[in-house]
Structure 1
Amino acid sequence: MQEELFTSGRNIPNIDPSLQIWHWPISLYLFLGGLAAGILFFAALFYILGKENEYPAAVKVATIVPPIALTIGLLALVYDLTHPLYTWQLYTTFRIESPMSWGAWVLLITTPLSFLWTFSFYRDAFPKIEAKLNVFKKLKFLDKFEKFIISNRLYIAYTLIPLSIILGVYTGILLSAFNARPLWNNAILGPLFLTSGLSTGAAAIILLSKNIKERHMFSKIDLALIVIEIALIIHMIMGYHAGSQVHLEAMELLVGGEFTLMFFGFVILLGLLVPAILEAIELLGFKVPVVVPAILVIIGGLIFRFIMVEAGQLTRYLY
């Protein structure tokens, strides 16, 4: 074991002046968590409203994404840990003041519920797959288990609404809790990441939907979410601009710095403005390939997480 002696609070490797310990797995985890939260929120909401047949992709088909997304996200998170074998220790306590503790417990509850939700619609949403696999014929106990889940599906939906909101907000709060990093230390990140997650969730539903009415509905929802997201980003930048020197320097990474092209080109322009224009044109009655704005929104949401994680680690307070 190598021992290091620090005689100053400055120039500590990986911590000061910049943080260099969070890499692509964290960005991927934040994106997949937000995407799963968005899909689960809409699935639970429209089921509670009794519109599972009117919007089948939202309630039934698209819900195959959250279990996969959360599993991959958790694997990426564990992969990034220095001591992955000690992950279980997160669940030996609950600290109400810790965003990581909240996130760990919310994920612990949400992930199995997402699997149960998908399972409850498996035969209804994917009859061709079941016809080939014959899972229920081979494992007959699944019939009783399916009936039990279906009978309690409404309770699962009511549970998923707050859990998905907390999961979406948590992905932003996880960053904003780092007070030593000016770009992250912004209360707007929680609502912004939640809105972005809902937007990518709506975009995923549009991609998987074969119903024109459903696509139009979620195009309207996504358009509204994009407008809100743009407003939150403007508010975030104005907040940095009105802050101290360190906040101005943090803002310069996004506005006039090394991340400007990625932020304004791929997130603002291609990830928000272009999809908003295309969705507005489609809602006006013109034919637009819905796959284009949906994919742009999802890619923009992914790049946004990468930018915020990477740029945030370069910012610091001067002291």
Structure 2
Amino acid sequence: MSYALLSVNVPSNNLNNINNLNLSYNYQYSSISDNELITLSENETDYNVSDIEQYNQEEGIKNTPISKSYLCSKDSYGITKKEYSCLSALAYAKDLNESDDTKKYYNYLQKKSWNIKLHVKGTLHYLVGYNKKNNVKVIAFRGTYSFKDCIYDIQLFTESSVPTLAAIVPYFTKQTLSKVSYALSFVGSKLTTHELIELAENVVKEETINNSEIPIILTGHSLGGGMANILGSKMGLVSFGVSPPGTYLGRKSFEMNQKDITKYAQAIIPERDLVSSLGMSGGSQIHIPCYEHTLDCHGIDNSICVIGALCHDTELSSLCHEKWKKWNLSISS
């Protein structure tokens, strides 16, 4: 049984040359059997998808490597990775006017035709964003915010991360890790309640029933991104996680299959992000550089500003000016 994984690698060197940056793409093809876990890679430097070109032409975007890149272009729903990331960041807010940064995220999204409402259901915090221009709805789940959320992180993703952590032990071969992971996924399904996942699934079902004609996409950062990838794969919905823990090795626990993960799950993976390094992520991945200390690479604000810099998005300058200055980047449209 095999699957395809699209991974976009963004180099972190030559920061002063960011305006001339050309992104590269790494297509990974993996085949998993009962006895082995094999990964093969083939590098490509050009990416051409008809729906992305159509959106770019409609918006009058120049025919450049940046405008055609998977990181910077709109998807088939007309949404950019920057918008998904900003929606994921805004899901942390208790009020849309609670801080200057919150207001800046909100204003940025309003300019992109987003109508946003924050919600709380039990222990689940999320937002629902509706884009009037594209007639599409996005549900963004809040990421790790408190000690209780950290417990959920451990409960939800321990089985995925244990094989990764165990990889440093020489006694574990790829064959052993694949079998251990498979066994752990069934154990996890009996030992964890997955309370947040159940709450989130009910929210998605309600939104789907109430607006069956409107496409729904799931997103989130950290824990929220992991939840989005899990539910999207289970429910047949496109999902976009920012710095999510890998859930592929624990897919049996979450009632996901390999084919659906490949088809529906997408993720932004910053380099040196400790949370994203846990487990193994499936689906399409975009790897971006981190210009901060390792402990700060998981922050949603850093990821947004890196994406903004790589995509030359001057609309994010009010949010990212200080970081771009610190990173010695000069951003122009």
- Structure 2 length-normalised TM: 0.28
Q: Which is bigger in relative contact order (C-alpha 8 A, separation at least 6)?
A: 1
Instruction: Say which one has the larger Rg.
Output: 1
> What TM-score, normalized to structure 1?
0.29
Considering fraction of residues, name the structure with more strand.
Answer: 2
